[in-house]
Structures are given as structure tokens and as C-alpha cells.
Amino acid sequence: MDFRLTEEQELIRNNIREFARKHIDPIAAEIDESSRHPAELFRELAAGGWMGIPLPEAYGGSGADFLTHAVVVEEVSRSCASTGFTLSFHAGIIGTVLALFGNDEQKKKYLVPLAKGAHMGAFSLTEPQAGTDVMAIRTAAVRDGEDYVIDGAKTFVSNGPLADTYILFCWTDRPAGRKGMSAFIVPKGTPGLQPGKHFDKMGLRSSQTSEVVFRNCRVPAANLLKQEGAGFAIAMTGFDHGRIGIAAQAVGMLQAALDESIRYSKERVQFGNPIARQQAIAWMIADMATDLSAARFLAYHAAWLKDSGLPFGKEAAMAKLFATEKAMHHTVKAVQIHGGYGYIKGAKVERLMRDAKIAEVYEGTSEAQRMVISGSLLR
């Protein structure tokens, strides 16, 4: 088994790392502090062709595989987890869902500008009373001639305040259960679509998150994805792909925590020697590096399975579970290595620790991942 990336993938890794050093590192602390969406940065990402890495060339993407997508998300997240997350779900969930389930007309109209980075997308599923329990959503669509009229409210919508294209999940036949959930494309500016204000979050502060309300929102039937009743399957497919991206994001945060811990432990002198010579510190770094390698393998393996046309849902859940929990654990350790300096605003490890927590929650909590994994094994 060959564990090496291809020459092209290594070149892409080097190119996006250089891009991140030049364009992301200088503003990462500022956009975290201000909770600002860096529109100028995403214009640069779009100009470089980074917004549609795994999406088909025929619809404006780069046509690369999902492993390459994971590598790019990892490297961007190494500099800024907020930017890495936005890039991950934009292409890995929104773009991928449209590529897999949209018809040709929908792809030309909505996927092309998303893949090129001219538009931003949002995934509207979670509701105030419906998180992990997807079946508890209340938003509903009623057919009215050539349209559907949608009413309901979503929350924790990433890109909610600024998206151009919303993928909305709602009931079209509630008594039918899973087969009664449908998915719609709702463009920005549709009457009745009301994005809320950005939440002031603990971490991932430059990633814009809000409520989105649909009130008598009239959407053409032509914007239905696939067919009535396909929504649940579309959402779960989106999550399977998205979890690879979140695992890659966590790997990037872990790598950054290791980078910062090695650098600081070599520079910080106590008792006449760099603290890197203290066994307690050295072992923290050894554990961090070991878990980083394991997390990277799980993420890349899940991506490789997807690219090979093999089942990958269980492995994507494993990758997300392990990588995100280890990212949380080791960013805390990175702060510990830095001591009081790591607890001060402006320290990268402080930002990493805050950013890491949400990765254990969104796109399926750690507990939900264990449900997916055990459910797959205990059928």
C-alpha cells in the first residue's frame, strides 16, 4: 500500500501552504478578534481556483479528488480554522450536494458560481429544537401550482448572513417520515428569506453563523433537488462528505498546535535549559505528534475510500471523531506548554483551543459519530 501523496498533490500542498503564509497568516488574528468575514481573502482563494477543488471541471471546479480537497482544507486550517471550515463545507458539502443531486440546469445556474467562488453557499438543516435529531425539524413546504411555499426557521447556519445559495431541508410529507423530507435550492433575495445576524461565538469567529427564517417563502418547483422525499438521503450524503473535511480541518489545527509547541518549547528557557528538555514537555509533544499522524491517516483513508468509489461513511465518522477529539485535547496541551503566555489573547494556541471545541459538535457531535460507527458495526 502506497501512503505517499502524488507529485501533483504535494505540489498543491506546497502551493496552498505558501498561499496561506502570504494571505491568511497576516490576518488570522485580526479576523478572529473582529469576527469579520474576510471577503478579500475569499476573492483571492477564488482567483487561485481553491474554492472548487473537488468539484467537476465541467461546472467550474478543479476536478480534483477528495483527498486533494482534504489536503487543501488541512493546510488552510493550519493557518486559520475559520477559513478552513468555510472552504471545507462550501465545496465539500454545498458544492458536492449540488454536483451529486442537481440536474444539469441547476448545476449550470447554481453550482458554477459556487465552484468558481463567485457565490457562497449555506446548508440549512438544523433548527432550534432539531440538532442531532434531524427528524424533529418543523420547517415545511406546501406545493402551490408551479411553486412551493416554505415556512420555518433554521439556526446555526454557517454562512447564513452572507450566502448567495441556500440548500434548505424541510418536510413536504411529514407523515411519510424520512421519505417525506425534501431539499430545495433557495437563492439569496427570494421574498420571505430572512437571514439573521451573525452569532458572537467563542471560536471560529470569522466564520459567519446565524439563524435563517423562511416566511411564506415562495420557491419554484424547478429548485427541488432530485425529487420529493430525497432530502434525508441528500443531507446524510452531505454529512458523510463534510466529515472528511472536518477531520482534515482538525488535522490542520493539530499540526498548528504541534508547530507552535515545538517552537515555543525550544525558545522558552527555565532552570537554565529550554523546556523542550523537560520530560513532561517532551512527552506531551510526542503524544501530540503520534495522534496527529493517526488523525491524518484516518482522514486521508476516508477520502481515499470515497475517491475509490467504496463505502466511506463509517470511516468518515471515525476520522471526524478521532481527529476532532484529539485536536481539542492537544490544543489544551499546547496552551499548557505555553503556560500563562498561551492564555493571552493573540497567542495562536489560545485561538486554536477555542476553535477546536466546535469541531467536536458541528456536522454531527462526537456522540453522533459513535452512533454512526456502532450502528454500522452492529446491524
Annotated catalytic residues are 363
C-alpha to C-alpha distances, 90 to 93, 120, 224, 316, nearest whole angstrom = 6, 7, 20, 18
- Cα gap 263→267, rounded to integer Å: 6
> Hey, how many other C-beta atoms are within 10 angstroms of the C-beta on 22?
10
- 105: CB partners within 8 A, 6+ apart: 222
- Cα gap 110→165, rounded to integer Å: 7
- 195: CB partners within 8 A, 6+ apart: 157, 160, 161, 162, 163, 210, 211, 212
Would you give the end-to-end CA distance of the chain in angstroms?
Answer: 29
256, 352 contact by CB (below 8 A): yes
> Hey, how many other C-beta atoms are within 10 angstroms of the C-beta on 128?
12
β-bridge partners, 269? 274
- Interaxial angle between packed helices 348-359 and 81-89, expressed in degrees from 0 to 180 and rounded to the nearest 10: 30
